[in-house]
Structure 1
Amino acid sequence: MPRSTNAVSSRRKRKKILKSSRGFYGSRSKVYTVAKNAVEKSFVYAFSGRKIKKRNFRSLWIQRINAGIRQYGKSYSEFLNQLSEKKIKINRKILSHISMNDPDLFKKMVENVYSK
């Protein structure tokens, strides 16, 4: 019995890789074996990039909160400690947004947190 090949799915698999490599430089977008390696590596970079993006944003929010709280002579760590002692649950993203875009509300928060 002759060997049967499934050309349809093989072609589909290669086309999928070549489509993903569109825009890559030189043979990385033309030759299947080279493109496959480039696409696999690009997926690795994309995965790790999504994790790094989260790290970068968290650090940006912390810097913004720190800049906002320094105007009142306090530090970021003191402020977050006071927030947790007062059992105020608010995340860093929202805190940074408030400190940048609504200074009056942020001032009230600071006064509320540091009031006895």
Structure 2
Amino acid sequence: MPRAKRGFKARRRRNRVLKAASGFRAGRRTMYRRAAEAVRHAWMHAYSGRKQKKRTMRRLWIVRINAAARQEGLSYSRMMDGCNKANIGLDRKVLAELAIVDPAGFGKVVETARAAL
């Protein structure tokens, strides 16, 4: 009786891994075992990178809001405290975009926040 060689299912699984490793260099692209390890690590780093992106974007927004608020004569923390007290429901992403695209509108937000302090 001939041995069972897994065939189609195993080939499909291997090809899926090799396709995921298509941009890698040298044996990490062509050899299944090395490709599987490289893909596993790549997916692990991609997962943590998606979490880190949220942190770095928030830091960027805070830096931008702080710079724009200081031009209006208010620090970031005082401005955010004023926004909370004035029930201004804009998040940091929107405030940072407003500071860049519409400085006059951002100035009005700062004035409203300053009045609530």
Give the TM-score taking structure 2 as reference length: 0.92
Is 1:26 the equivalent of 2:29? no
| Root-mean-square deviation (Å) | 1.4
- Runs of 4+ aligned residues of structure 1 deviating over 4 Å after TM superposition are none
User: Which deviations, in whole Å up to 9, do the C-alpha atoms of 1:59-100 show, x marking residues without a partner?
Assistant: 000000000000122100000011111121110000001111
| Inter-partner Cα distance in structure 1 for 2:68 and 2:90 | 16
Aligned length: 116
Identity %: 41
Larger RCO, structures 1/2 (Cα 8 Å, 6+ apart): 2
Is 1:110 the equivalent of 2:105? no
| Inter-partner Cα distance in structure 1 for 2:111 and 2:39 | 53
**Correspondence for 1:53:** 53
Q: Which runs of no fewer than 5 residues in structure 1 stay unpaired?
A: none
